Each structure stands twice: as C-alpha cells, then as structure tokens.
Chain A
C-alpha cells in the first residue's frame, strides 16, 4: 500500500520555541529575506508558530499553534493552478513543481491557511549562511511559489533505501526537519495508511481536530487540543 504522509501537532507540548522554524529554513534552503523585506511582508517561513493571546494583563495566556502546509486531500491550491505546478503527488503530498510555476500566486490566495510563500526576488543569504545550503534541495528562483514539502527529499531518500532493501519504512525512521528539531516532540510525523503508526493513532484521538475543518479541504495535519489548564493555586 502507498504511503500517505501526515502529521499530528500536540498543542499541549508546543512551547513556541520556533526550533522547527529554524530547522526548516536550514533544511530547505529557504531564503532569509532580510529585515527590510520582512517588514514588507516578504518573510518566508514554511512553518510558523502562531501566537494567540488570551486574557488581559497580567492574566495573559499565550497559545501557540505551529502552522505549516496542511497537505490537504482536497487542496484548494491545486485546482486553481493553471500549469499544474501545484499538484497532488503519489504519497498524497501537495507538491509544488518549481520549474513549472509561472507565478500567478493564485494558489496562495486560494489557500485558507496562508502557508504558501512567494519568491519576490532571487534568493539571497547573508554570509556565512550561503555556505550551509542543503545540496539535496533545489534553490527557487524569482517569481516562483514555494511551500512546505514535508521534507520530500528525505522521504524520497528513505523510500529509495527501503525499496532497495525490499522493505517498508519503519514508523519513526523518517522525520522532516521540523519534527526532528522539536525538543518536546510536539510534531509527530508518519504514515496515515499504516494503522499502527503513532500519527495514525493520534489522528483518531478525541483531542484531535483539523484546522479550519469546516472549509472541507481535508487536511492531513491533526491538532491535538490543549488539556484544560488548572491554576496551581486553585487546588
């Protein structure tokens, strides 16, 4: 049976440290656009940690929610691309063919999660970051849309190895950079088609919900809700 990659995000475990964001940038050669361009809305973070504040000072509580491409089964970005640059690959990933992208940016508008990022200029890295580019990941040129791939280069490599050794991938043997970097293991990645995998079991957790589920995009990322919080002094 084919793989169907998914992720569970345990919001109880997320501390908002943004190690996932940094790891993603390093793994996927995501340009650092610089302070000026970032202020003009050109920052690119395939994964971001959204912060929601609740209550008034001093009783403020922050909720963190890591948001990355939801790898929708019924993805709104794919249908609207006039050149098939955005398409569903054989593992159910919302793949983006950079070479085929002409930059209409329609996919980014259609995406309700705003997880698609556009190369407004050719990529640049401040020294010495230009020396740490990942050779497994292509550099995207100006005018091209890009997005979270679930580290497709790692998936391809692991699948090739597994196929050569004539076996299925073991659950947990493969991780995208964000999940690998998460110090609290809040991000759990795996094969949703394997009912025994951790991610498949967590996806059916009563704590689980999908982001903007009512829109019907059928995301493959499950958010595990925070458990009710009890103030220590109320006991």
Chain B
C-alpha cells in the first residue's frame, strides 16, 4: 500500500465533520421544523382520534400504509447493493456502501413508525411484542402484521450491525484525530479498535457473515410486507406475484434514493473526487436493470388479471387502467418506466444529472405504485354496494412530509458525525503499486506521509504495522 495516498483521503472525508457551513444549520433547521410539524400532527391525531386522517369505510388503509411500504422499499438501497457488491468484491462499491447502508437504517426507522402511526390506539402498540404477560396472550402468529413485526425488527437489527461494523475503524481514526467530547464519543464507538491483525481479521469475517446473512433477510422483509396484502382475499391483492414484485420494486426505489443521496452529498460535501461519474454510471445501469424488471412484473401482473377476467378483479383493473385512478396509473408508468428507460438506456444521457432525474421519476412512480396497490383494491372489493373512495387529509400529508424531512435531517446529522464514505475501505482499495494507469490520479492525492491505521491490502491479513 502506498501510504502517501491515504492522508489526503482522510483529510477530505473528515473535513465535513469538523467544518460546518451556515447551509448545514439552515438545512437542519428547515428539516427539523417540518419534522416538528409532523410530530404535532401526530399528537393532534392521537388527541382527537385517527378520524382526522382521510381513511374511511371501506378504504381503511391509506397514506400511512402507502408510506410504510414506500419507506421499507427505500431501505432496500443499502443492504442489497452493499452486500451484493461486497460479496462479489466489486471495487467501485467502496465509496458507495456507507451512503447506502445509512439510507437503509434511516428509511427502516421511518418506515417502521408508520404501522404505529396508523394504529387506532397507538399507545397499545406494545401488544404486538411477544412478551410474557399475566394474561398469557401472545401475538397472533397467523397474522401477517405479526410477521411484519419480526421481519422489520430482524432487518433493522441486521442493518444497524451492517452499518456499524465497517464504521469501527473509522471511529478509531476519528478518535485519534479529535479532542474533547468528540474524542470520548468516538473512543466509545470505536470499541477499543487498535488496528491489529487479529482485529482486522475479525472485522473481515464479521462483514462477510453479515453480508451473507442480510441478503435473505432483506428479501424476506419486503416479501412479508407484500404478504400484508397478498394474504387477504381482496381483488388484485391476492396474488402470488406480490413477493418478488415488491422486492424488485423495493430495490428499484432503493437505488433511486441512493443515487439522489449520493448526488446531494457529492455537491454539498465536495466529494466530487470520490463519487465519480463512474459510480453514477454503474448505479444507473443497475437502476435500468430494475426498471426493466419492474416493467416486466407489472406487465405479468396486469396481463394475467386481464386475461383471467374475474369480475371483482376487473373492477379494480379498469379503475386503475382507465377509471378514477388512471391518471395516477399512467403517471406511474411514465415515471417508473418511460423516463428512466429513455435516460438510462442511452450512455450519453446516463450522466450524473440524467441519473438524478431518472431517480426522481422512480421515487414518484414507486410511491404512486404503492398507492395504486393499496387504495383502488380496497375501494373496489367484491360487493359493489360497498365501493368507496379515499382522499388524504392534511394530517396525513403533514406526517408524510415530515418523514421526508426526517430522512434529510437524519442524513445531514449522520454525515456530520460519521464520514459518509468509509475511509478505511477506500484506502484498502488503493493500488499497492503505482502502475501507469493510476499514477496521474495518485500524484494528485499523494502529498504527505501519514501515520494512521489502515487495513491490510485487499483483505489479506498481514503483520502488525510498524
């Protein structure tokens, strides 16, 4: 390893932690204000009753469940991308993984709030916990909502570990570089990391185990979220395709969220050197793949329903295809397929800006997709007499806005306390010998020697650093 390269990397990536511009405070203040509005709206809802939301008979699930599925979907950004790329040892993953894993944790925290927000009596949410009570009543394990509880908690625990493990060496680096309360905080979080071979080996195996373990968990969690719908005999919910369809949609929206987050970080933290067009190009290709996969799933689902011609399902089908929900449906098709496909299929438009535009389209489209899965089906159940409609109320919209602001807030604060790009992983990816291809880049980076801890080359353990 050429250590002359590592010092500037650490400097670049640590700088945002110690230098704060006025914009940071402005963003945090604005986001915190919206989050506070959302908290107030939730308080208002608890005080007056869930009736302040727009849900009604027979559409008992509305914006809250749409946002629940949406955010759990976004959470698939981190684990799947980062775990898969880690396992196949893709070199370009290094600056991307931590951004992605952080999205997972925050999106899960936000998504997991919605099943509680939407409850009629949220103060009794702990009855979903499997705790030994005096009444000997456990949660009903036949209920997909109980499965949700376990799936989401497993996933949250797993992705927190998956995020935290590779942060330990960086915490140690920060501990060594900071003073005062930060030194204490980072020292605690570094868990006594000293960079010995034994520690590196253990970290490496822990990361491998977590990467393998988190993959089935990530797939299962969105499958189980889809089971909330497909287990009920509701027209167009009761479908065997829902599990993989939801997982594909989740990865799709997750990559889109990751691209947007990376583009924002790149600009605001000045990481142009690390988050390069190459990364956006690669992620854009992944997004294109998921875009085609998503379109295939929608086609397969819609065609089988249409061909089957079952009356109650056709009511929902036509309501979305050319009825009251048709504007949302066709907007979804444009945002989720037409726009991303046109932009991403062409290498010349698959630029950073192009990827960001496509990603915004995907986020809007995937949100609409969740809305179109939940609401039209409930509004058109088997008995036509009890058909209904749904429109959101200000409380729901405020809480929804607050979750988006909450994501910005959590992300901004996170990037202020933790280097958003894994420093040690980036260092480990540096070339051990300067060949001609990397020489130019290396000469830009190489300025001084550095005496900090860094990992062994390409994962292979070596003796203690002199």
Contact = CB atoms under 8 A, between A and B. Distances in A.
Nearest to A103: B120
Contacts of B56: 40-42, 120
B382 A50 contact: no
B61 A109 contact: yes
B316 to A, nearest CB: 13
Interface stretch (B191-199, B230-238, B300-308, B423-431): B230-238
Interface stretch (B91-99, B123-131, B162-170): B123-131
Contact of B139 (A41, A83, A144, A215): A83
Contact of A102 (B124, B234, B378): B124
B24 to A, nearest CB: 39
B25 interface: no
A233 B233 CA distance: 45
Interface stretch (B271-279, B383-391, B413-421): B383-391
Contacts of A80: 142-145, 231-232
Contacts of A100: 127, 137
Contact of B234 (A50, A79, A109, A121): A109
Contacts of A122: 49
B48 interface: yes
A84 B136 CA distance: 12
B139 A82 contact: yes
Contact of A110 (B120, B146, B234): B234
Tell me if A's interface is mostly helix, strand, loop or mixed.
loop
Given A43-B57, A121-B48, A82 B146 contact: yes
Given A41-B388, A42-B51, A102-B127, A119 B120 contact: yes
Contacts of A43: 57
Contacts, number: 139
Contacts of B58: 41, 108, 114
B121 interface: yes
B383 A50 contact: yes
Contacts of B299: none
Contacts of A212: 382-383
25 contacts: A40-B56, A41-B57, A41-B388, A51-B385, A80-B143, A80-B144, A81-B140, A82-B140, A82-B146, A83-B127, A83-B140, A103-B119, A108-B60, A109-B232, A109-B234, A113-B382, A114-B58, A114-B381, A114-B386, A141-B121, A142-B120, A144-B120, A212-B382, A212-B383, A215-B382
A143 B120 contact: yes
B67 to A, nearest CB: 16
Contacts of A112: 233-234, 381-383
B326 interface: no
Contacts of B145: 80, 82, 104, 106
A105 interface: yes
Contacts of B144: 80, 106
Given A83-B139, A117-B57, A144-B121, A67 B49 contact: no
**What 9 pairs across the A-B complex have the smallest Cβ distances?**
A103-B120, A143-B120, A41-B56, A120-B51, A105-B60, A143-B121, A114-B386, A50-B385, A82-B145
Interface string B50-69: 11000111111100000000
Interface residues of B, number: 42
Contacts of B142: 79-80
A42 B232 contact: no
A108 B444 CA distance: 64
Interface size class of A (residues with CB under 8 A): 35 or more
A174 interface: no
A37 interface: yes
Given A41-B388, A84-B140, A118 B49 contact: no
A62 to B, nearest CB: 12
Interface of A: 37, 40-43, 50-52, 65, 67, 76, 79-84, 100-106, 108-110, 112-114, 117-122, 141-145, 211-212, 215, 217
Contact of B120 (A76, A81, A84, A102): A102
Contacts of B122: 102
Given A79-B143, A120-B50, A121-B48, A114 B120 contact: no
Given A80-B231, A110-B233, A112-B382, A142 B49 contact: yes
Contact of A114 (B55, B139, B383): B383
Contacts of B149: 82
A42 B49 CA distance: 13
B120 A215 contact: no
A118 B121 contact: no
Given A42-B56, A52-B385, A113-B383, A143 B119 contact: yes
Contacts of B381: 112, 114
Nearest to A65: B385
Contacts of B137: 83-84, 100
Interface string B22-39: 000000000000000000
Given A41-B388, A102-B124, A120-B49, 10 more contacts: A80-B143, A109-B60, A112-B383, A113-B382, A114-B383, A142-B51, A143-B120, A143-B121, A212-B382, A217-B233
Contacts of A65: 385
Nearest to A112: B382
Contacts of B139: 82-83
A119 B51 CA distance: 8
A232 to B, nearest CB: 29
A144 B127 CA distance: 14
